[in-house]
């Protein structure tokens, strides 16, 4: 019964007494207990994702004597982790990378569909001019789009301090040390006079 209580506590965010009452009323059935908690308004689903969105830091980085600047929002699950040196160093490293590599998006899913369609159009015209067969052109297109992602998406870019790995691998390695989910929410890169 303790495992069930713990599991329901983690998945619902409801109070222990509410969970015990709901389980008793449901005859020990977890699904029915969740339904009872929902009806009573005790269910707090999404509590963990709310925490993820609220904790973290905004890191700034100024480079080139004040000619390039970066603001980066990076989130984590708890304020405890947000205050650690590991987390702050991760934010600094990412801001430095953004200043150096000039990504346009955080990840592939952030790239608007119309941008990808326009890129495909351009690449298709270039490939057709080469006179290659259709199936070769399609493979070339896939490769060109992947290359576009590697150039414009932060997490897909080769990490500036170790080009053998992508930024997402660097972040994963750092996250493994912290033991907590980390999300790069957004960034802005400024260039003097641009």
Which domains does the chain possess?
A: 2-45 (1.10.8.10), 52-108+153-191 (3.30.479.20), 112-150 (1.10.286)
What does the pLDDT read at residue 42? 54
Per-residue pLDDT band at 15 (split at 50, 70, 90): confident
Give the model's confidence band at 11: pLDDT under 50 very low, under 70 low, under 90 confident, else very high. Answer: low
DSSP 3-state of 187? strand
Mean pLDDT of the chain: 84
- At 56, phi and psi to the nearest 5? 135, -160
- In the prediction, which pLDDT does 20 show? 83
pLDDT-derived band at 12 (thresholds 50, 70, 90) equals low
Strand partners, 58: 73
Q: Looking at per-residue confidence, does 131 or 21 come out higher?
A: 21
Is the pLDDT score of 60 beyond 50? yes
Q: At what angle do helices 167-178 and 85-101 cross, to 10 degrees?
A: 170
User: Please, where are the H alpha helices in the chain?
Assistant: 2-12, 16-25, 30-40, 47-54, 79-82, 85-101, 113-129, 134-152, 167-178
Helix (H, G, I), strand (E, B) or coil at 44: coil
């Amino acid at each position: 019964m303790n495992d069930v209580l713990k599991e329901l506590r983690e998945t619902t965010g409801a109070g222990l007494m509410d969970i015990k009452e709901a389980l008793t009323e449901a005859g020990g059935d977890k699904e029915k207990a969740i339904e009872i908690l929902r009806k009573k308004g005790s269910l707090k689903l999404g509590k963990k994702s709310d925490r993820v969105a609220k904790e973290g830091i905004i890191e700034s980085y100024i480079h080139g004597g004040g000619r390039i600047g970066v603001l980066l929002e990076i989130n984590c699950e708890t304020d405890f982790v947000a205050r650690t040196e590991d987390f702050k160093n991760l934010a600094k490293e990412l801001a430095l990378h953004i200043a150096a590599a000039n990504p346009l998006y955080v990840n592939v899913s952030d790239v608007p569909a119309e941008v990808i369609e326009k890129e495909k159009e351009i690449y298709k015209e270039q490939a057709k001019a080469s006179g290659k067969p259709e199936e070769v052109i399609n493979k070339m297109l896939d490769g060109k789009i992947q290359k576009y992602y590697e150039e414009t998406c932060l997490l897909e870019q080769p990490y500036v301090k170790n080009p053998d790995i992508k930024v997402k691998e660097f972040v994963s390695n750092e996250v493994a040390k912290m033991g907590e989910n980390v999300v790069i929410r957004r960034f802005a890169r400024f260039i003097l006079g641009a």
